[in-house]
């Protein structure tokens, strides 16, 4: 707006200046004649001065001001050769000034000063300003409302996520955080739900484990209580029967010891995050385990055979691997027939060490085979005494092997008995170097 005013006043001033440029000296009478001819309309005031800033013409006082000096800074600047434009909003009007030098040939002979006091334009600007103020007020209010609404919605979602987290934290593992949309909050809610799923699974496994374990411990304890009560309450019991009962109590106590040892072993596997691993020669560990079991094999009249390749090196915890082989060979002897055999084979193929434990025992019925690695699972529940195991040996085998990046399978042999196969990754050369 000011720019339009500038250009119109500038061209008016330029017209006056060029009309006066024919005069070598700006004398009042000559200037007035030219100004009357020009008759510039719409301007509030026009002043023409000579080169000494002495007024030659003043539209505000055409007859009386000649000879006075116009000591405006704009005129001083114009006489110095500059073109001046200055506009400002004063109260109810736009006050604009333009001042140009008047040149005759190359020399400055005076200055033209135009002043305009425009109330209409000022009113326009003021109303524009008011409108802008109103618009910015409405926009700010809308922005504030929108942010309050967004903050409210956001805090409601955060509160519902917090509620879900608190529920899970309080042990309600089935509570879930609501997930809406795909923004970051929803992603957080999704991740919390995944964690809750895991917690729920872990909790279910833990509860089953605790109830299975207490059941396993309860049975021998109940037998011990029953046997000892019978001895205490039966005064006339003969020495032979008492000895028999005490022997049974001892056997049940042994069973308790076995179960608790295996339970400890299982929790040890589950809780250890970083155990010591080293290069383990599977042949050496297998030989050791078989040596420890040779007495049991003799006792059960089971022949122990082996064909163990050297060079089956794995990166593992030696005690864990010993436990795996020991459990498998012990089972193969325990669940065998008198006069049968157990054969342990070891070889390397396709980056894996393969350990096979074959036996000539009773085998496992096909419908029970999928469960034998479950905790506390025993094929023949009715077995008691020395024959009764804890049902934990194969769980320990599976957990340990999987922890070492391997796998274990059980298949019936065609000619009777079982084959357990353990595959473990052979040691990489870079592991050997560490
Ligand atoms: P347990 O302490 O009872 O031996 P395991 O977890 O080692 O527990 O074995 C689970 C069950 O799998 C055993 O009760 C047994 O019935 C069966 N089993 C394991 N190994 C053999 C095998 N070599 N031959 C036949 N049955 C086996």
The string of pLDDT tens digits covering residues 295-331 is: 999 999 999 999 999 999 999 999 889 999 999 999 9
pLDDT score of 179:
81
- Residue with the bigger pLDDT between 214 and 343: it is 343
* Lookup result for tokens 């509570």: 175
Please state which of the ranges 170-174, 239-243, 339-343, 392-396 shows the lowest mean pLDDT. Answer: 170-174
Q: How far is the CA of 327 from the centre of ligand 1 (A)?
A: 9
Mean pLDDT for all residues in the chain: 87
| One-character DSSP codes across 235-264 | TT--HHHHHHHHHHHHHHHHHHHHHHHHHH
Q: How far apart (Å, rounded) are the C-alpha atoms in residues 415 and 215?
A: 36
If you measure from the C-alpha of residue 200 to the centroid of ligand 1, how many angstroms do you get, rounded to a whole number?
A: 30
Q: Is the pLDDT score of 189 beyond 50?
A: yes
Range 202-227 average pLDDT: 84
Ligand 1 atom closest to 359 (CA):
23
For residue 340 and ligand 1, the question of a CB distance below 6 A is answered with no
Q: Is 389 in the pocket of ligand 1 (CB under 6 A)?
A: yes
Give the C-alpha separation, 225 to 236, whole Å: 19
Strands 303-308 and 341-349: parallel
| Ligand 1 neighbourhood includes 359 CB (under 6 angstroms) | yes
Q: Whose CA is nearest to atom 21 of ligand 1?
A: 331
Is the per-residue pLDDT at 185 higher than 80?
yes
Mean pLDDT to the nearest integer, 253-270: 82
Chain-centroid distance, C-alpha 210: 34
Residue 4 has pLDDT above 80, yes or no: no
Q: Give the Cβ contact number of residue 102 at 10 Å.
A: 27
Which among 432, 423, 418 is positioned nearest to 372, based on CA atoms?
Answer: 418
Higher pLDDT pick, 269 / 310: 310
Give the distance (Å) from ligand 1 centre to CA of residue 394: 7
364 lines ligand 1 (CB under 6 A): yes
Q: CB neighbours of 240 closer than 8 A, spacing ≥ 6?
A: none
What percentage of the chain exceeds 70 in pLDDT?
A: 93
User: For ligand 1, is residue 49 a contact (CB within 6 Å)?
Assistant: no
Q: How far apart are CA 302 and CA 313, in angstroms?
A: 29
Q: Is the CB of 391 under 6 A from ligand 1?
A: yes
- Pairing type for strands 303-308 and 352-359 reads unpaired
What per-residue confidence (pLDDT) applies to 381? 67
Alpha-carbon gap, residue 379 to 360, rounded angstroms: 17
pLDDT at 262: 80
Give the residue whose CA is nearest to atom 23 of ligand 1: 332
- 203 has a pLDDT exceeding 70: yes
Ligand 1, atom 14, residue with closest C-alpha? 378
First-to-last C-alpha distance (Å) of the chain: 80
What residue owns the CA closest to ligand 1's atom 20?
A: 331
Mean pLDDT of 160-185: 85
* pLDDT value for 429: 63
Would you call 226 helix, strand, or coil by DSSP? helix
Nearest CA to ligand 1 atom 7: 393
CB of residue 377 inside a 6 A radius of ligand 1: yes
273 pLDDT more than 70? no
- Substitution candidate for ligand 1 out of 356, 363, 394 with most atoms within 8 A of CB: 394
Beta sheet of 93-104, edge-to-edge order: 55-58, 45-50, 107-118, 93-104, 84-90
The confidence band for 246, taking pLDDT boundaries of 50, 70 and 90, is very high
Average pLDDT over residues 389-408: 90
pLDDT score, position 266: 77
Q: Which of 14, 18, 10, 11 is nearest to 86 (CA)?
A: 10
Range of 16-30, 77-91, 151-165, 326-340 with top mean pLDDT: 326-340
pLDDT confidence tier of residue 384, bands split at 50, 70 and 90: very low
Return the DSSP state at 54. B
Q: Of the candidates 299, 300, 281, which has an alpha carbon nearest to the alpha carbon of residue 289? A: 281
Q: What is the mean pLDDT of residues 337-360?
A: 96
- Distance of alpha carbon 16 from alpha carbon 6, whole angstroms: 15
Quick one: angle between helices 184-233 and 119-169, nearest 10? 10
Q: Phi, psi at residue 419, to the nearest 5°?
A: -125, 120
Residues 174-194 have a mean pLDDT of 86
Reported as a pLDDT band with limits 50, 70 and 90, residue 212 is confident
Residue pair 179/195 in contact (Cβ under 8 Å)? The answer is no
SS (H, E, C) 109-128: EEEEEEEEEEHHHHHHHHHH
Asked if residue 332 has its Cβ within 6 Å of ligand 1, the reply is yes
Average pLDDT over residues 5-14: 83
pLDDT in tens, 97-131: 899 999 988 889 999 999 888 777 778 878 898 99
- Taking CA atoms, 280 is separated from 11, 27, 88, 303, 396, in Å, by 101, 119, 93, 26, 19
* β-pair partners for 303: 341
**pTM, 2 dp:** 0.57
Lowest mean pLDDT among 32-46, 90-104, 136-150, 240-254: 32-46
Q: Given a cut of 60, is residue 431 above it in pLDDT?
A: no
Please, which residues have CB within 8 angstroms of residue 381's CB and are 6 or more apart in sequence?
none
Q: What are the phi and psi torsion angles at 134 (to 5°)? A: -60, -45
Q: Quote the Cα angle for 314-319-324, to 5°.
A: 75
Cβ-proximal residues to 13 (8 Å cutoff; 6+ apart), any chain: 98, 99, 100, 112, 114
What's the rounded Cα separation, in Å, for the pair 372 and 365?
Answer: 10
Each residue's pLDDT tens digit, 23-38: 888 888 888 888 888 8
pLDDT above 50 for 364: yes
Q: With a 6 A CB cut-off, is 378 part of the ligand 1 pocket?
A: yes
Ligand 1 atom having least distance to the Cα of 363: 25
| Region 180-202 average pLDDT | 87
Task: Calculate how far, in angstroms, residue 398's C-alpha sits from the geometric centre of ligand 1.
Answer: 13
In the structure encoding, which two tokens stand for residue 186, read together? 């929803």
Q: What's the gap in Å between 331 CA and the centre of ligand 1?
A: 6
Q: Judge if the beta carbon of residue 324 lies within 6 A of ligand 1.
A: no
Contacts of 28 (CB under 8 A, 6+ apart): 55, 56, 57, 66, 67
> How many angstroms is it from 421 CA to the middle of ligand 1?
14
**What does the buried/exposed string (b/e) look like for 68-98 if buried means 16 or more CB atoms within 10 Å of the residue's CB?**
eebebebbbebbeeeebbebeeeeebbbbbb
pLDDT of residue 41: 65
Of all protein residues, the one whose alpha carbon is nearest to atom 4 of ligand 1 is 389
Q: Is the CB of 361 under 6 A from ligand 1?
A: yes
Q: Return the pLDDT at 29.
A: 86
């Amino acid at each position: 707006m000011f720019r339009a005013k500038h250009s119109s006043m500038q061209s008016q001033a330029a017209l006056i200046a060029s009309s006066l440029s024919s005069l070598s000296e700006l004398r009042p009478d000559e200037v007035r004649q030219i100004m009357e001819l020009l008759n510039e309309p719409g301007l509030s005031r026009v002043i023409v001065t000579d080169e000494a800033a002495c007024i030659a013409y003043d539209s505000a006082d055409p007859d009386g001001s000649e000879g006075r000096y116009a000591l405006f800074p704009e005129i001083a600047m114009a006489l110095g050769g500059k073109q001046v434009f200055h506009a400002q909003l004063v109260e109810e009007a736009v006050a604009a000034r333009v001042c140009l030098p008047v040149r005759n040939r190359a020399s400055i002979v005076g200055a033209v000063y135009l002043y305009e006091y425009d109330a209409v334009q000022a009113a326009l600007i003021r109303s524009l300003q008011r409108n802008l103020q109103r618009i910015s007020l409405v926009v700010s209010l809308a922005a504030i409302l929108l942010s309050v609404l967004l903050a409210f919605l956001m805090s409601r979602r955060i509160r519902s996520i917090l509620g879900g987290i608190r529920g899970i934290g309080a042990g309600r593992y089935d509570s879930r955080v609501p997930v809406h949309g795909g923004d970051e909050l929803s992603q957080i809610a999704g991740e919390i739900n995944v964690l809750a799923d895991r917690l729920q699974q872990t909790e279910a496994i833990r509860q089953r484990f605790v109830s299975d374990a207490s059941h396993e411990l309860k049975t021998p304890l109940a037998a011990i209580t029953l046997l000892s009560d019978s001895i205490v309450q039966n005064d006339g019991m003969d020495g032979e029967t008492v000895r028999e009962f005490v022997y049974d109590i001892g056997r049940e106590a042994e069973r308790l010891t076995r179960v608790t040892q295996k339970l400890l072993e299982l929790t040890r596997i589950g809780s250890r995050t970083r155990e010591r691993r080293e290069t383990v020669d599977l042949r050496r560990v297998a030989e050791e385990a078989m040596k420890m079991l040779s007495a049991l094999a003799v006792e059960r009249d089971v022949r122990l055979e082996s064909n163990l390749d050297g060079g089956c090196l794995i990166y593992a915890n030696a005690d864990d691997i010993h436990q795996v082989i020991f459990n498998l060979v012990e089972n193969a002897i325990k669940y065998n027939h008198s006069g049968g055999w157990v054969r342990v084979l070891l070889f390397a193929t396709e980056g894996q060490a393969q350990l096979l434990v074959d036996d000539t025992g009773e085998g496992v019925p096909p419908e029970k085979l999928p469960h034998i690695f479950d905790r506390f699972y025993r094929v023949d529940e009715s077995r008691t005494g020395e024959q009764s195991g804890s049902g934990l040996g194969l769980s320990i085998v599976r957990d340990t092997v999987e922890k070492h990046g391997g796998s274990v399978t059980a298949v019936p042999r065609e000619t009777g008995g079982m084959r357990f196969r353990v595959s473990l990754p052979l040691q990489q050369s870079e592991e050997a170097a560490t």
